[in-house]
Amino acid sequence: MTSRRRQVLEILMAAADHPTASELFVRAREACAGVSMATVYNCLEALARNGLVRQVHIARDATRFCANPVDHAHFYCEACGRVFDVEYEKARPGPAVVLPAGFHATHRELSVRGRCAACGRKGRAKARAAWGRAKRKGL
């Protein structure tokens, strides 16, 4: 665990959204100039290997990262592209599958896709644009 990795982890834990590696790279550069893209990827991979962050494969564009340690699922809004944490139902705390003999599972990932409350029934283009504007103005 090096100082770079601690920095990346702190930035990710402070993030309410689910940033991509590029987004984390931008935030890391703000915190300290001279960080490289390769290092961000390197750190994220090491942190994921140690179970400190989760890689979220939910959108086609890029891998998102999540430092929330509690077991949860993710919601992807197909209109604005944002990713949200969602809880499992208490009565059915998690999905169960029948693995073929000899298969050994280490992780699972449940993704739900649809529309978030903010996007409602707005058109996809309109919703994405609205969120882009809001983001540029600083959330």
Partner DNA sequence: CTAGGTGCAAAAGGTTTGCGGTTAA
Partner DNA sequence: TTAACCGCAAACCTTTTGCACCTAG
Residue 14 C-beta: closest distance to its own copies, Å: 22
Q: Please report, as residue ranges, which positions from 65 to 94 form the binding site for its own copies (by CB under 8 A).
A: 73, 75, 78, 84, 86-89, 91-92, 94
Contact code string over 19-58 relative to its own copies, x by CB under 8 A? ------------------------------------x-xx
CB 12 within 8 A of CB 65: yes
Nearest-Å Rg of the Cα atoms of the chain is: 17
**Choosing among its own copies, DNA, none, which partner's interface includes residue 87 (Cβ < 5 to 8 Å by kind)?**
its own copies
User: According to the binding rule CB under 7 A, does residue 15 interact with DNA?
Assistant: no
- Structure-token match 């984390």, residue found: 24
**Longest Cα pair distance anywhere in the chain, in angstroms?**
53
DSSP-derived letter for residue 56 is: E
